[in-house]
Structure 1
Amino acid sequence: MAAPKKGRRSPGAHGKPGRSLILILLVLGGLTGGMFLSGHTTPRLGIDLAGGTSITLEAKNQPGKADAINPTNMKTAVGIIERRVNGLGVSEAEVQTQGDRHIIANIPRGTNEKQAREQVGTTAKLAFRPVLTYAPSTPQPQPSPSKPGGEKGEQGEQGDKGDKAEQGEKGDQGRAVTDDLRAAPADEDKPSPKPDQTKPPTTPPQQQQPPGVTPELAKKLQKIQCNTKEQRAKASEQAAATEPDEPIAACDAKQRLKYVLGPVGVDGKNVTDAKAQFDQQRGQWIVTMSFDDKGSKAFGDTTGELAKKQQPQNQFAIALDGEVVSAPSVNQRLTANAEISGSFTQESAEELGNILSYGALPLTFEESDVTTVTAALGSDQLQAGLIAGAIGLALVIIYLVAYYRGLSLIAILSLLVSAVLTYTLMSLLGPAIGFALNLPAVCGAIVAIGITADSFIVYFERIRDEIREGRTLRPAVERGWPRARRTILVSDFVSFLAAAVLFIVTVGKVQGFAFTLGLTTLLDVVVVFFFTKPLMTVLARGKFFSSGHPWSGLDPTRLGAKPPLRRGRRSYAVSTDPKEA
């Protein structure tokens, strides 16, 4: 075989291995630094390792609503259940769908199980309460010039720009902060009057103390904060525990606003139907709702009183578990049928319609399974998994040292780099995407040890094959890489494809195994390309490996190498040992 011409690199040559090594070391340093700076220095543990309670809820069909079990309603239910769990002061709880009719709520240890079971899956408290006053949760430099939520610098300007204010923290609702509550077309005897444009007082509501706001309520309004999820959860828990005939201080679910609300005017259970509709005349989404006889009377009496008042006391807040989900203004007396209009998107209109129609949860759920995992059991499982992983890693290292000798140093360093990458990514993915390390995920990491070691073995055997053909080490390293690279990529692609299919078609804890297997498979490609191959290229230039030291694992004599190939001659001799295709 003709030797490569001078000035031309052999196929697959790695021109500047130092750059690749520096790059991966920088990535390692960045991920490690990010892990310590974020404060999440350990992976988030799943319920089977950390201990806690797992509650499985099954959605049930309701009479007359056979098609109620659908992805939209299941998504709404997950959001409401998650909000309730957070209201218990639970951190790092998981609420997710399983299949098309099950929801699993995994609540870590440290939570009252009885209280959690009472909160999860039960119909929440939905009530209509009149707004007495409001205030921004964070003090503003200037008072609001218009309706609640129009504060400049936090929710945007009033007028046309105010339609974007509802986006608040989430930015996905696309609904005005103060909607209009008016009679539905079938219930109107005359056109609805224009919304009241009377400007509110120039002093902050909590300082002015409007009618109905006692000094005690003003102090509550000033005290509560609604800036973070934890603060809103605490405020809603206190408000939900208040009796219906007492006023409350409550947070807005989407914005940094807080309200003082009067006693319950209409109970949520009196809503007979509510749904999102697209108004063709106005070209916008609206929410229509209707009440039973008792609710219709109470709704008419309350809206009649509110219509006589000025902003913001003409608003009727819809409170879900003590948290305001909407606060439309009222300009006329309404009875059995009404509609809420504003800058709704289809998604936000359907969400509000679900909340109103089904009394918070859009579906009826029953507990199908409740599992309690003790912290001791989770600790034992984790310890057993780590011991199994350590034994497997030790056996792999013993095999590499015994068979590959000096080459085992490269394999061990590569395994160490892969382990650091895996650990830091798992620690960072916990707060980023909610990844939790459960027992199947630990099994996936253990399986990944064999997959990663297999890639090194493929490359080492390609190099040894080239040395058996009579080539020196440096050409053997570069000529063996293209064939090894192709084999490694095919093998890792099959493993990643299996992990992806498993992740898509399975649910629950098995997804943890599939996710970890897929992640470690991708990291195997990164480590082999950016660390193992460049490091092998660098070490091949050293005397220990290039001279074929007996302990290098590349001794030509031990490998049964042929005489060195000469220039200008093509060897056609066939080795007696079978070679890999």
Structure 2
Amino acid sequence: MASSRKLAKARNAIIGMFVVIAAVIGGIFAFASTGGTWSPKLALDLSGGTQLILAPKVSGDNSGEVNEEQLAQAVDIIRQRVDGSGVAEAEVTTQSGKNVVVSVPGTLDSQTRDLIQASAEMSFRSVLVAGNGAPVAEDQRTAEDKLPQPTGEPQDGSDMNWVTADIFREYEAKDCAAVANEDTEAQDPSKPVVACSTDGAEKYILGPVEMNGTDIKDASYSQVQSSQGVSTGQWGVNLELTDTARQKFQDVTSRLVGIGAQNPQDARSRFAIMLDGKVLSAPTSQAVITDGKSQITGNFTEETAKSLSEQLKYGALPISFDIQSEQQISATLGQDQLKWGLIAGAIGLTLVFIYSLFQYRLVGLINIISIMVAASFSLTLIILLGNMMNYRLSLAGVAGLIVSIGLMADSFIVYFERIRDEIRNGRTIAAAIDHGWDRAQRTILASKAVNLLAAVVLYLASVGNVRGFAFTLGLTAISDLIVTYLLIHPMMVLFGHTKYFANGGRFSGMDPEALGAAPLYRGAGRVRTPEENDGMGAAERRRALRLAQEEEEKAAEVNNG
């Protein structure tokens, strides 16, 4: 009865393995039916891509040259932006200490190009006046004698004394539909400005900058929730401010809430959040914010909310850039190197198969099958991740897959050697499989944990192609662990309950006589003594006997001499 349960459990585990593989293939099919691919996406070194050369642009009163520290910081920020946008295996380097070279696999889309070049200069200003984005007709504009005139020095960012006659004329004449890009250099942070919303539907007179992008600690995106915790279906960008900015933000929101309490329709109760000279959102402050956490809402889609959160999270470039050149580049290593890499992997795989059959006889087939299944599983995962996350396989990643062949065989070897030890100790083959598994799985888990930890550390501590190696190394470690539990052990249980393997067939790899097993009960009331179990296999015992005979012959020759 217990044997039947073990067999049923083993069969269910194997079925579970192939259900997992089928689920991954189903995911690939779902993506492929909507424009995805059935093959792994290749990185820059294998498929070529697009190369941008960015020239630094010194703006404003800064007439000095860009220093190495600024350029290095720009490289780090651009690399984070490119990685954050889902472009895998991109390369960001400096050229001659002056330019930044960005190379990405495949064709560069306009969104990623804008993300690379954007400065993400963010600022927070109080709203003084708000209205429709269209220009006011000339015959309806405010008369000269009725234009606002300051009566004193402004006391805070919401003071109407910031609004002069000139700024109000500019506001009335502003046509937000005609404005493509704002000249951010002309926007003095210490003075009021006229600005448009990103969709051009609204325009504003804004007070001086009260906070800026450096006050942002973190940014993310999520669906907006109501006060009852129910999702509204809209997307928003969540901002967390630095500790030093919290008090400043609390003071601002306290002022705005006070203005709104006196007149809820007053535009001055709103706080504009600007990006590169345009107003992303100008929400009304509903409460005093004391914890430094707020949310930007507006006409966001999931894609635009994600893009904005990435721009804000990764900060503003210390310098601005112009795209000096953009060109398609060929693969730096190409298909020839990939071909030879795959040939090397095939040779290694063949040698492992031959060794498995030579050393472990027919039971070595389990190792061969498990390696093939693990390799197929890893490949399907890479294809799925390519469709889901735009992961691209580089030559370093291929090297990680090839190295993992030996690591995949390691789990089987540890397990089967434990089974052999149990057989040598006199256990039946079925019992040896059970006890061997109990002993082996701890070692296997420890081994894979070390492999996975090494891969994670290598991935976090490196950039570029080395990350591809670390990623595939970690991925195959997880795949191997799944295959070990859902395929190797269940197959060993099924093999151990067949007549040939249960009886320790000559070529089964589990022949007790070949392994030098000594049974616990020797018959006639005798049991095995420690001296009768030397722990050596038949081949080892023959070798020890031969060495002993040679020693005896040498000793006899000395005595006769």
With the shorter chain as reference, the TM-score category is 0.5 to 0.7
User: Secondary structure of the residue that 1:259 maps to in structure 2?
Assistant: coil
Which runs of structure 2 are paired with 1:366-385 in the superposition (5 Å)?
374-375=330-331, 377-385=333-341
- 1:575 paired to 2:534: yes
- Preserved CA contact (<8 Å) 1:549 1:555: yes
Aligned partners of 1:285 and 1:345 also within 8 Å: no
Structure 2 residue 200 is the aligned partner of structure 1 residue 259: yes
Separation in 2, partners of 1:280, 1:452: 56
- In structure 2, the residue matched to 1:179 is none
Q: 1:111 to 1:529 in 2, by over 3 A?
A: closer
Contact 2:45 2:332 in 1 (8 A): no
1:19 aligned residue: 12
Q: In structure 2, what is the Cα distance between the partners aligned to 1:532 and 1:359? A: 49
Of 18, 43, 50, 2:40 maps to 43
Contact 1:80 1:360 in 2 (8 A): no
Provide, for residues 304-323 of structure 1, a one-character-per-residue CA deviation record: whole Å limited to 9, x for no partner.
xxxxxx99xx99995649x7
Q: Does 1:414 align with 2:370?
A: yes
Distance change in 2, residues 1:186/1:386 (3 Å) = farther
2: distance between equivalents of 1:59 and 1:280? 36
Q: Kindly indicate whether the alpha-carbon contact (under 8 Å) linking 2:43 and 2:88 is maintained by their aligned counterparts in 1.
A: no
Match of 1:402 in 2: 358
- Give how far 1:239 is off: 4.1
- AA of the residue aligned to 2:200: Y
Q: Which amino acid aligns with 1:28?
A: I
| TM-score of the aligned structures, taking structure 2 as reference length | 0.57
Amino acid at match of 1:34: G
1:325 aligns with 2:280: yes
Aligned equivalents of 1:469, 1:118: Cα separation in 2: 69
- SS across alignment from 1:400: helix
Q: Distance in 2 between matches of 1:42 and 1:15?
A: 36
The 8 Å contact of residues 46 and 436 in structure 1, kept in 2 or not, is answered as yes
Q: Does 1:542 align with 2:539?
A: no
Which residue of 2 is the match for residue 29 of structure 1?
A: 22
Q: Is the 8 A contact 1:78 1:103 kept in 2?
A: no
SS at structure 2 position matched to 1:506: coil
Given that residues 545 and 552 in structure 1 are in contact (C-alpha distance below 8 angstroms), is that contact kept between their aligned partners in structure 2?
yes
State the Cα distance separating 1:504 from its structure 2 match: 2.6
1:562 maps to which of 499, 518, 522: 518
Mapped to 2, the partners of 1:345 and 1:71 lie a distance apart of 33
Sort the Cα spacing of 1:54 and 1:458 in 2 relative to 1 into closer, same or farther, 3 A: farther
TM-score (norm 1): 0.55
Tell me: CA distance 1:95–1:563, structure 2 relative to 1, closer, same or farther (3 Å). closer
Distance 2:526 2:252 in 1: 82
Q: For 1:458 and 1:385, how far apart are their aligned partners in 2?
A: 28
In the alignment, the residues of structure 1 paired with residue 88 and residue 469 of structure 2 have an alpha-carbon distance, to the nearest angstrom, of: 19
2:42 touches 2:393 (CA, 8 Å); kept in 1? yes
CA distance, structure 2, for counterparts of residue 390 and residue 48 of structure 1: 21
1:552 aligned partner: 508
Match of 1:283 in 2: 250
Distance 1:492 1:427 in 2: 23
Tell me by how many angstroms 1:106 deviates: 3.6
CA contact (8 A) 2:42 2:392 kept: yes
Q: 1:48 Cα deviation (Å)?
A: 1.6
The SS at the match of 1:45 is coil
Structure 2 residue corresponding to 1:465, chosen from 396, 410, 421: 421
User: Equivalents in 2 of 1:428, 1:498: separation in Å?
Assistant: 24
Q: Which has the higher contact order (CA 8 A, sep 6+)?
A: 1
Residues 138-157 of structure 1, C-alpha deviations (whole Å, 9 max, x = no match): xxxxxxxxxxxxxxxxxxxx
Inter-partner Cα distance in structure 2 for 1:124 and 1:439 = 34
Q: How does 1:177-576 map to 2 (within 5 A)?
A: 187-188=154-155, 192=159, 239=180, 252=198, 258-259=199-200, 274=212, 276=215, 278=245, 280=247, 283=250, 320=276, 325-326=280-281, 346=292, 361-363=317-319, 374-375=330-331, 377-563=333-519, 565=521, 570-572=527-529, 573-575=532-534
Paired with 2:154 and 2:460, the residues of 1 have a C-alpha distance of: 49
Q: Which string of whole-angstrom CA distances, capped at 9 and with x for unpartnered residues, describes residues 2-50 of structure 1?
A: xxxxx999xxx88832232232222122122112112243333222222
Distance change (3 Å), C-alpha of 1:328 and 1:489: closer
In 1: Cα distance, 2:360 partner to 2:91 partner:
47
Instruction: Report the alpha carbon displacement of residue 436 of structure 1 after superposing the two structures with TM.
Output: 2.4
Instruction: Indicate how the Cα distance of structure 1 residues 366 and 111 shifts in structure 2: closer, same or farther if over 3 A, else same.
Output: closer
Counterpart CA distance in 1 for 2:342 and 2:50 is 23
SS of 1:405's equivalent?
Answer: helix
Change (3 A) 1:278 1:514: closer
Deviation at 1:124, TM superposition (A): 8.2
Change (3 A) 1:418 1:426: same
Work out whether residues 42 and 427 of structure 1, in 8 Å CA contact, stay in contact via their aligned partners in 2.
yes
Contact 1:285 1:349 in 2 (8 A): no
CA distance in 2, matches of 1:188, 1:482: 76
Q: CA deviation at 1:423?
A: 1.6
**Corresponding residue to 2:104 among 107, 120, 136:** 107
Which has the higher mean CA deviation after the structures are superposed, 444-453 or 373-382? 373-382
Distance change (3 Å), C-alpha of 1:20 and 1:494: same
Query: What's the offset of the Cα at 1:122?
Result: 7.5
Q: 1:347 and 1:79 mapped to 2: Cα distance?
A: 23
Structure 2 gap segments, 5+ residues each: 135-149, 161-171, 186-195, 216-243, 254-265, 297-306, 541-561
**Contact 1:466/1:479 (8 A) holds in 2:** yes
Could you list the per-position Cα deviations for residues 338-373 of structure 1 after superposition, in whole angstroms to 9, with x for gaps in the alignment?
xxx998985879999x999x9963445799x99985
In structure 2, what is the Cα distance between the partners aligned to 1:390 and 1:542? 32
d(CA) in 2 for partners of 1:191, 1:561: 91
Q: Secondary structure at the match of 2:200?
A: strand
Contact 1:124 1:359 survives alignment (8 Å): yes
Q: Distance in 2 between matches of 1:522 and 1:189?
A: 58
What is aligned with 1:205? none
The answer to whether the 8 Å contact 1:500/1:514 transfers is: yes
Q: Which 5+ residue runs of structure 1 have no aligned equivalent?
A: 1-6, 135-182, 194-209, 221-237, 245-249, 253-257, 287-309, 330-340
For 2:251 and 2:483, how far apart are their aligned partners in 1? 53
Q: Deviations over 1:476-504 (max 9, x none)?
A: 21222222223323332332232232223
More helix by share: 2
Which residue matches 1:302?
Answer: none
Aligned residues: percent identity?
Answer: 34
Counterpart Cα distance in 2 of 1:429 and 1:116: 19
8 Å contact from structure 1 (residues 58, 365) kept in 2: yes
* In 1: Cα distance, 2:388 partner to 2:425 partner: 51
Distance 1:472 1:430 in 2: 47
